[in-house]
Every structure is written in C-alpha cells, then in structure tokens.
C-alpha cells in the first residue's frame, strides 16, 4: 500500500494538463532534492536558517520523494539527485549521509554528500571514491559560529582543501550562496568566479539561481557572470520569470538545470515580490501560525482554494521565460534532462 504523501486536487490536475504536461520532456532529471528523516535533524535549528520550509514536510524519505513524482508528474519518468537536509551543526551527519548512501544504492539514484567545512580532504576523497557520492552539498549555516551571518563567505563553508579534492575527481559542488545581497553581492560574485578559474574541473552548481528570487537581487550580477564558461545554475524553488530570462540571456540553456528543492516545493502557494523581498501567499490555516515570518502571508479563503503547488509555479515561470526568450524544444530538453545527464 502506497503511503499518502499529500492530496492531488482537481486544480492541480488541471494546472498540470493545461500548463505543465506538454512543456516537459518525457524524461526529467531533478538535480536538487532533499531526502531525510526527522531523526537526523536537531531539535534546535541554527539561527541562519529560514524557518518556513519546515512547515511543508518534517521529513522526506525516498519513498515519499518517488511518490511525489508519481502524483505530480503522471506519465513522466523523473530521476532525482538526492542529498540530505543537514543544515545545523547539531544534526546527525553520519546518519543522514548514510541514509542517502543506502537510498542511492537501493534505488540506483545519483547522490551528493552533505559536507561540513571542518571535514578533511582525506574523508571527502573517501566519500567520492569509496562510497559513490558524486560531489557535495554545502550550506552557509555550517560555517564557523564566530562569523556574523552577513559576513559569511563561500570559502567559509566550501573550503579550498575540499575544492581541491572535487577538482581532482571532477566532482559536483551544489552551492547555496550566502549573504543578504544574494546573487548581486560582490564578494559572492568574486568567489564564484574564483572557483571556476582555480578549480576548472569542479562542476559548480549555483542553487536557486543564486537565491535571486526577486529582480532586485540581480542588479548587474549577470553582466559579471556572463563571462564565465562552466558555472551551472539550477532553477529550484525560484518562480521569477524575469530572473529566468536574465539567466537565459547571460549563460544560455546549456548551463541551466532543472531542480525542485523537494519537499519544500510541495507547498501550496504563489510567490510575489514586495520591495525586493519575496512573499509566499498560502491557503489560510494550512501551515499553522505564520505570523512571525515575513516571507509568508495567508490568502483569502477564496484565493486559497485556487492555489496549486510551488513546483508547478516554478515550472510555469520558466515556461513563460523560455517562450519569451524563444528557446527551442531541444533547449527545454537540455534544461530538464540532457544538461544534468552530461554532468552526472
């Protein structure tokens, strides 16, 4: 008996048939998914973390992830790249990463190792060569606690000794960039470019289009990044059509990857930007008390009935951008399958 993960409503079926189904290729690779049990996560979360994603799913075992694809993408074959959700120093990294390794073996799925910056080059090399991980997922809240959150740099949690190992083994680095300036932050731009130049064999993936969720997060970032040659960008958990258009214009469709950021994109919502800050509009009462979260707002009951999935909103926004930028059918297949297959 299949575990019931979430409800598919008529509004979801209609959205998929009308907007999503014919746009997507039959085979998809999802480059960005979190697979975890609640027992791997510390009760007390780090102060750097955004809190609203935990309202959607407290855990996401691999069976739930695969069932999500069956429910949300009927008729499509989706292969996820899986990694943990270990963003607090108190999390069970050994247990969480071992679970990913077991899921990868059982279901023949590509996987990334969730790395802490304090881990040695020798340990990381073992993970890549002996345990089958294709690279690393890293996160800013694992940097040294003494560094103020807005002063954290990429190398504080993706250190050079780990980049050297990834470069040697042509490994993936899935990077969620730091700092309140997001993609337009000059330190981020400098260090992203430095990684490409100094470690040319690292398959560097900038998650969420560099957290540029609103056009104000861009500034002149892509003018700087248009000179890069290998850096990749995933579109996970991003719904901004203008950002996607700027991305396509700057790097072209061969360096863009589909990612979902599941399970968070199972959320029912639509996203708006106000004064350069994203706000998730959600059905009233569905996710509990959101009064203290500036990124969350409840819709009216009538609008709430019309809200479908975050992931559908992401794909729809990319579809609109692709149409305006005149991407071909081949380009779409590259973004949703071929580009990821190439780097895997």
Confidence of residue 50 (pLDDT cuts 50, 70, 90): low
| Contact criterion met (CB below 8 Å) for 96 and 114 | yes
pLDDT at site 43: 76
In DSSP terms, which residues pair with 279 in a beta bridge? 272
Output the six-digit token pair for 304: 């709430």
Q: What is the rounded CA–CA span in Å between residue 28 and residue 32?
A: 12
- Among 24-33, 139-148, 181-190, 283-292, the range scoring the smallest mean pLDDT is 283-292
- Among 33-47, 210-224, 228-242, the range scoring the smallest mean pLDDT is 33-47
Q: What is the rounded CA–CA span in Å between residue 82 and residue 75?
A: 21
Mean local confidence (pLDDT), 7-22: 98
| Angle subtended by helix axes 310-324 and 241-251, to nearest 10 | 50
What structural domains and CATH numbers belong to the chain? Answer: 10-265+310-343 (3.20.20.140)
Beta strands 277-282; 270-274: pairing state: antiparallel
Average pLDDT, the chain: 96
Whether the predicted pLDDT of 45 surpasses 80: no
pLDDT at site 292: 86
In DSSP terms, which residues pair with 297 in a beta bridge? 281
Question: Rounded to 5 degrees, what are φ and ψ at 19?
Answer: -115, -40
| pLDDT tens, position by position, 258-296 | 999 999 999 999 999 999 999 999 999 999 999 889 999
pLDDT at site 53: 81
pLDDT at site 4: 77
Handedness of CA 284, 66, 87, 152 (dihedral sign): negative
Q: What is the rounded CA–CA span in Å between residue 124 and residue 122?
A: 6
Question: Rounded to 5 degrees, what are φ and ψ at 31?
Answer: -80, -10
| pLDDT tens, position by position, 296-341 | 999 999 999 999 999 999 999 999 999 999 999 999 999 999 999 9
Q: What is the rounded CA–CA span in Å between residue 265 and residue 310?
A: 5
Name the residue among 208, 271, 209 with its Cα closest to residue 246: 209
pLDDT at site 84: 98
pTM exceeds 0.75 for this model: yes
């Amino acid at each position: 008996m299949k575990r019931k993960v979430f409800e598919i409503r008529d509004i979801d079926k209609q959205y998929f048939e009308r907007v999503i189904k014919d746009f997507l290729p039959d085979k998809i690779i999802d480059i960005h998914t979190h697979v975890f049990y609640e027992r791997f996560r510390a009760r007390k979360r780090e102060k750097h973390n955004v809190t609203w994603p935990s309202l959607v799913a407290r855990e996401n075992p691999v069976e739930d992830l695969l069932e999500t694809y069956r429910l949300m993408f009927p008729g499509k074959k989706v292969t996820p790249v899986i990694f943990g959700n270990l963003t607090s120093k108190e999390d069970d990294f050994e247990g969480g990463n071992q679970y990913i390794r077991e899921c990868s073996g059982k279901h023949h799925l590509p996987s990334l190792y969730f790395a802490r910056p304090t881990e040695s080059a020798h340990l990381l090399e073992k993970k890549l060569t002996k345990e089958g991980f294709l690279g690393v997922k890293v996160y800013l809240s694992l940097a040294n606690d003494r560094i103020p959150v807005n002063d954290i740099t990429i190398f504080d949690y993706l250190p050079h000794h780990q980049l050297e190992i990834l470069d040697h083994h042509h490994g993936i680095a899935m990077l969620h960039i730091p700092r309140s300036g997001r993609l337009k932050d000059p330190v981020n731009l400098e260090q992203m470019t430095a990684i490409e130049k100094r470690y040319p064999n690292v398959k560097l993936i900038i998650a969420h289009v560099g957290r540029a969720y609103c056009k104000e997060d861009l500034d002149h970032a892509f003018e700087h990044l248009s000179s890069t040659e290998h850096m990749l960008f995933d579109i996970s958990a991003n719904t901004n059509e203008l950002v996607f258009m700027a991305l396509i214009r700057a790097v072209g469709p061969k360096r863009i990857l589909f990612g979902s950021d599941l399970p968070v994109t199972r959320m029912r919502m639509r996203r708006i930007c106000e004064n350069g800050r994203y706000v998730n509009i959600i059905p009233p009462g569905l996710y509990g008390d959101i009064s203290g979260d500036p990124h969350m707002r409840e819709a009216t009951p009538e609008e709430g009935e019309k809200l479908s999935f975050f992931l559908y909103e992401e794909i729809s926004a990319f579809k609109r951008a692709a149409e305006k930028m005149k991407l071909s059918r081949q380009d779409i297949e590259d973004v949703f399958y071929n580009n990821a297959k190439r780097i895997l």
